[in-house]
Amino acid sequence: MRTITRSALIVTVLVCLSAAAGLSLAAADQMANATSSPAPYVVHIKNFAFNPASLTVPVGATVVFKNEDSVAHTATAPGKNGFDSGNLDGGAEFKYVFSKAGKFDYVCNYHPTMKASIIVGAGSPAASPTPEPTPTQYVPSGY
Ligand SMILES: [Cu+2]
């Protein structure tokens, strides 16, 4: 009984170690992808709303506005530094590159109650999840 418990413990430790290794590999992979080709940011236009209503992106980010409704919408930020998707039929999408920092409030020209904003920051991409710290207490000293 004692030996069974012991080997069960060893198996548990090994499983934890491989899980941790797998996680850090995945995280490293994700970071490499982020630096080489940043994932596009997506604003979903659905049920007469922009989702997310507030999106923070780094300077130079590409944002894709996807109309997932069956009716037409626009994504329009007035002003000389603004942007305008023009008419977006249901299922259509519009890509825009935000090359300047700032806050861009935009609306749908057809439905003025649809309001949202894009915040373009000067720094690195926001919302990069902090990886869990490696559980070093599980590493046997003999390894
Ligand atoms: Cu609309």
101 and 59: one domain?
Answer: yes
Structural domain count, the chain: 2
Q: Calculate how far, in angstroms, residue 41's C-alpha sits from the geometric centre of ligand 1.
A: 20
| Average pLDDT score over the chain | 77
Q: Which residue has the higher pLDDT, 125 or 105?
A: 105
At 57 the pLDDT is: 96
For the segment 32-46, the average pLDDT, to the nearest whole number, is 71
Domain limits at 88? 41-121
- Would you say residue 11 has pLDDT above 50? no
Q: Calculate how far, in angstroms, residue 60's C-alpha sits from the geometric centre of ligand 1.
A: 26
CB atoms within 10 A of CB 140: 9
For the segment 86-97, the average pLDDT, to the nearest whole number, is 98
14 and 57: one domain?
Answer: no
Judge if pTM exceeds 0.75. Answer: no
